[in-house]
Amino acid sequence: MPRRSPSTPRTPVRVAVMVSGSGTNLQALLDAIEADPDFGGEVVVVGSDRAGAGGLDRARDAGIPTVVCALADAPDRPTWEAGLRAELEQHDPQVIVLAGFMKILTAVFLAGWPDRVINTHPSLLPAFRGARAVGEALAYGVKLTGCTVHLVDEQVDHGPIVAQEAVAVRDGDTETSLHGRIQRVEHRLLPAAVKLLCHGALQLDGRHVRAVLDPDTPDPDTPDPKEPS
C-alpha cells in the first residue's frame, strides 16, 4: 500500500465507519480527527445493520450521512452484503473502519477495499475470537486480556495485527467492568491505527504489519549497506 509522511499536505482520506451498537469507538475516532489537524482522514459516512444503533445518532449529531442495511430486510446474505457495499460506494470511501460492527463480511465485500478494512476486537488475538470474547476470557480465567486492532480478511477476527494492548483481569471483574476497561484502550488504539492507515503508513508483509511514518527515513533497525558490519 502507498506510504507517505503524516506531515505531507494531502486531501483527507475518505473513511466509512460501520457500527452495530452505541458507537463509542466511532466517537473516539471523530474526537481524534477533530483534535488532530494532521490526522489525514475524514468520516464521510456511517453505516449500520441496525436502524436503532446509537452510533447512527452520534453520526447525525456530527452532520455525517448514515446508511442502514438490515440483514433481515434482504432475501439472503449475499444480497444484503451487495446492498451494503453499494450504499457505501455512493460516498466513495477509501478506508472502512469496523467499530463494533457485529456482522461478518466476506471476501467479495473486502475486495472493494483491499488491505483498507480495519477492525477492533476486545481480546488479544488469536485468543477469544468471535462475538463473546470478553465473557469467554472471564470464563477461561485468564489474568490478561486486551484489545487488538487488525486488518480484516475473510476469516473472523483473523487478519494481520496492527496494534495490541493488554488489559489486566481483576478479581471480581464482570463482563461489563472488564469490557469498559478494554474499551478505554480501544478508544486510543483504533484512532491511532486508522491515522496510520490514512497516511499509507502500514507496510504489510504477509501477516506482519509495520508502521512506517516517513518512507524517506531509514529504519533504525536496518543496517546501512554502505557501512561496514
Residues contacting 41, CB < 8 A, separation 6+: 12, 13, 14, 15, 33, 95, 194, 195, 197, 198
Segment 24-77, tens digit of pLDDT: 999 999 999 999 999 999 999 999 999 999 999 999 999 999 999 999 999 999
- Quickly state the pLDDT bin for 212 (edges 50, 70, 90): confident
Please determine, for residue 176, whether its predicted confidence score (pLDDT) is greater than 50. yes
Given a contact cutoff of 8 angstroms between Cβ atoms, the answer to whether 15 and 198 are in contact is yes
Given a contact cutoff of 8 angstroms between Cβ atoms, the answer to whether 71 and 104 are in contact is no
Please tell me the predicted confidence (pLDDT) of residue 157.
Answer: 86
Please state, for a pLDDT cut of 90, what percent of the chain lies above it: 83
Q: What's the pTM? A: 0.87
Please determine, for residue 106, whether its predicted confidence score (pLDDT) is greater than 80. yes
Average pLDDT over residues 86-100: 96
Segment 131-154, tens digit of pLDDT: 999 999 999 999 999 999 999 998
Looking at 34-135, which runs of residues are DSSP E strands?
A: 41-48, 66-68, 95-98, 117-121
Please tell me the predicted confidence (pLDDT) of residue 48.
Answer: 97
- Quickly state the pLDDT bin for 218 (edges 50, 70, 90): very low
The dihedral over CA atoms of 189, 194, 59, 134, expressed in degrees to the nearest 10, equals: -40
The dihedral over CA atoms of 14, 12, 121, 47, expressed in degrees to the nearest 10, equals: -30
Please determine, for residue 22, whether its predicted confidence score (pLDDT) is greater than 60. yes
DSSP-derived secondary structure for 27-59: HHHHHHHHH-TT--EEEEEEEES-TT-HHHHHH
**Sequence spans of domains, the chain:** 13-211
The residue type found at 18 is M
C-alpha cell, 212: 512506517
- Quickly state the pLDDT bin for 10 (edges 50, 70, 90): confident
Rounded Cα–Cα distance for residues 121 and 145 (Å): 11
Residue from 58, 54, 105 nearest 83 by CA: 105
Please tell me the predicted confidence (pLDDT) of residue 220.
Answer: 45
Please tell me the predicted confidence (pLDDT) of residue 213.
Answer: 66
Please determine, for residue 108, whether its predicted confidence score (pLDDT) is greater than 90. yes
| DSSP at 75 | S
Average pLDDT over residues 10-29: 95
Ranking 106-110, 196-200, 225-229 by mean pLDDT, the lowest is 225-229
Q: Which residues pair with 161 in a beta bridge?
A: 150
Q: What is the mean pLDDT of the chain?
A: 90
Q: Is 121 a catalytic residue?
A: yes
Please tell me the predicted confidence (pLDDT) of residue 21.
Answer: 94
Catalytic residue, candidates 121, 150, 187, 199: 121
Domain 13-211 of CATH type 3.50.50.60: no
